[in-house]
Amino acid sequence: MEEKRHNKRFPVKLELEISSLFKQDNVKVDNIHAPIEVTNISRNGIGFRSGSILPLNYYFNAKIQLGNSDSSLYTVVKIIRQQLIEENLYFYGCELVGMPSVLDYIFDEFEEKMNSDL
């Protein structure tokens, strides 16, 4: 299968919790409390696993820390793909929305570290 991603995804292990979801038309779902395990990340998106069923085309706010505490990204994440991988466990593909280019240095440092660890 041909790779269509613009940027390489790197494996990562981050634990997050989604507390609320929202759509652009002011639809909001609160009290989600869905734990997620982020498994990979790129400049454009993340992949994560969760036992929760989350709706497509909804957004959530995330703080993603890559490396030290100075390397934290506060971003909006859009859920664009869902796949059942085993009973009661789903894999989600998401895109990072509105990432300012001024934060590219965080990914540059992370990619450099990941490539040097190979």
* The pLDDT of residue 57: 96
Cα–Cα dist 31/21, whole Å = 9
More confident residue, 2 or 36: 36
Residue 118: pLDDT band (50, 70, 90) is low
Average of per-residue pLDDT across 1-9: 64
More confident residue, 21 or 105: 21
CA angle in degrees (0–180, nearest 5) for 75-76-82: 125
* The pLDDT of residue 4: 60
Tokens of 14: 């981050």
Cα–Cα dist 32/19, whole Å = 5
45 CB-near residues (< 8 Å, 6+ apart)? 5, 9, 77, 80, 93, 94, 95, 96
The answer to whether 102 touches 113, Cβ cutoff 8 Å, is no
Q: Which residues pair with 46 in a beta bridge?
A: 41, 94
More confident residue, 102 or 108: 108
Neighbours of 50 (CB within 10 A): 20
Average of per-residue pLDDT across 78-96: 96
Q: Is the pLDDT of residue 81 over 70?
A: yes
The pTM of this model reads 0.85
Tokens of 29: 């779902």
Q: Is the pLDDT of residue 1 over 60?
A: no
Q: Is the pLDDT of residue 9 over 60?
A: yes
Residue 26 burial class via C-beta count within 10 angstroms: exposed 0-12, middle 13-18, buried 19 and up: exposed
